Amino acid sequence: MKYQAFNPYLPSWEYIPDGEPHVFDGRVYVYGSHDRFNGGGFCMNDYVTWSAPADDLSDWRYEGVIYKKSDDPAYRGRGSMYAPDVCRAPDGKYYLYYAFNPGITRKSWAIRCAVSDSPAGPFVYHGEVDLYPYSTQYLPFDPAVYVEDGRVWLYYGSGMFFPVLGVSKRNVKGGAVVELDPADMLTVKDGPHLTMPSSGLGEHSFFEASSMRKIGGRYYFVYSSAIGHELCYAVGDSPVGPFKYGGTIVSNGDIGLLEVHNGPKTASNYTGNTHGGILALGDKNYIFYHRQTNRNCFSRQGCAEEIVIEPDGSIKQVEMTSCGLNGGPLKGSGSYEARIACNLTSRRGGRFHSKPLGKNRAGCHPYFTQGGKDREHGGDQYIANFCNGAMAGFKYFDIDGLKRIGVTGCGNAEGVIEVKNEPFGAVVAEIEITPSAEEKTFYGEYRGDSGVKALYFTFLGKGKLKKFTRIVLG
């Protein structure tokens, strides 16, 4: 690899949730929504894409804006484009499907399509998939597209209900799949067929975020469940199922991995909605998902983890890490941005970010944020409000001969940061923190063991680190 790879895998100033990774001509392209830092709603920016060589997932390249809201003829200065997906069609062109809501009329929610000769765009408007006859049972939301042997399937749906669409809580079924005519990539030939229901599986019932991949002869349908913070999977023998529920692939709070992490309050990270898909590269497989930043659910960033598909087709839940696409632990020496912390909690636990948490309500809650405006390339994302009882966890480092650990930051904090290799383990370093108006690095002796280790930093004291910017291993 050219560089070490971290989570989030894109630069600190980029906010692309709902990531769908695809391999086209030797490069991995990620298509997703485009949030605005400090924005007041979901998906406020135009679509962009990033790509990386299929043999080096550390080397991401910005491909630019691929499609603007204003490129859709229905756009009238309002509305957002949600969670897209892209396929290479039988005609060799690339088709981008997206959910669009330019207004509040009954037919304002729709799945629309744009086309390009290149996976990097630019895309031009192509048309709308007429799903309106079925919209009272299967909402036209969060499209995913799959192509095989000259045939095309479109997946979509939501467990939400919208009276303005004539959709009641009673009649919404769940996720749906239709087959499209490859001649125009818009006309519904068959369906809709139910993928996964919005009830009957409890908290793991379908909510949104359909995604489809074929791996090892099996069809994997990935979706976001009713509890929001997890991506689940179901397996079928054909693109239209029937699909059998398999389990949770990843939770953006690691909920379900340990008994102590059984909900947003006790999770190892601040939770919120998530969306993503599987990337299959040779004998490696990865799940793409996203995390929340800035005390809200409107500034989300893409993350990814390697997953293992067992011989029987099952997938065990994976944990969030700081080194997701790295192919192994990070080096146990050097300076690392605090923004790659994969766990973040307060002394009062966590919360599910469904609404913005204003500054006056932030209280003891630490959070990821940045200086400057949206898409300023300063690269200064940091952890803010790191106060008494706040904990930031980083996983994993290959530690050998580590003598001291440092924390870089500033603020009126006065106390000590305890470092542990496990959240409730023994203290392996103590770092004394004193007030500092300017960024300063504070050090403590490392007394832990060598090997592949996690590092958890907990502040105990008065005041707070206004900015927690880096950890230093040396």
How many CB atoms are closer than 10 A to CB 432? 12
Q: Can you give the pLDDT at residue 180?
A: 98
What is the CATH T-level fold of the domain 332-473, as seen in this structure?
Jelly Rolls (2.60.120)
Q: Can you give the pLDDT at residue 101?
A: 79
SS3 track for the chain: CCCCCCCCCCCCCCCCCCEEEEEECCEEEEECCCCCCCCCCCCCCCEEEEEEECCCCCCCEEEEEEECHHHCCCCCCCCEEEEEEEEECCCCCEEEEEEEECCCCCCCCEEEEEEECCCCCCCEEEEEECCHHHCCCCCCCCCEEEEECCEEEEEEECCCCCHHHCCCCCCCCEEEEEEECCCCCCCEEEEEEEEEECCCCHHHCEEEEEEEEEECCEEEEEEEECCCCEEEEEEECCCCCCCEEEEEEEECCCECCECCCCCCCCCCCCECCCCECEEEECCEEEEEEEEECCCCCCCEEEEEEEECECCCCCECCECCCCCCCCCCCEECCEEEEHHHCCEEEECCECCECCCCCCHHHCCCCCEEECCCCCCCCCCCCEEEEEECCCEEEEEEEEECCCCEEEEEEEECCEEEEEEECCCCCCEEEEEEECCEEEEEEEEEECCCCCEEEEEEEEEEEECEEEEEEEEEEC
Tokens for 417, please give them: 């940061």
CATH superfamily membership of 20-307: Glycosyl hydrolase domain; family 43 (2.115.10.20)
Which amino acid is residue 212, in one-letter code? M
Q: CB within 8 A of 364, min separation 6: which ones?
A: 346, 347, 348, 385, 387, 388, 389, 390
| Sequence ranges of the chain with CATH classification 2.60.120.260 | 332-473
Ranges under pLDDT 70 in the chain: 103-108, 161-170, 357-362
Q: Any idea which residues carry the catalytic annotation?
A: 18, 208
Residue-wise pLDDT tens digits, 60-92 = 999 999 999 999 998 888 778 999 999 999 999
Tokens for 399, please give them: 């530690």
- b/e burial code for range 113-146 (CB count within 10 A of at least 16 → b): bbbbeebbbbbebbebbebeebbbebbbbbbbbb
Q: Can you give the pLDDT at residue 311?
A: 97
Q: Which of 101, 127, 123 is nearest to 112 (CA)?
A: 127
CA distance 47 to 125: 13
The position carrying tokens 């744009």 is 114
Within 13 Å, how many C-alpha atoms sit on residue 158's CB side?
21
Q: Can you give the pLDDT at residue 172?
A: 83
Q: Can you give the pLDDT at residue 436?
A: 97
| Sequence ranges of the chain with CATH classification 2.115.10.20 | 20-307
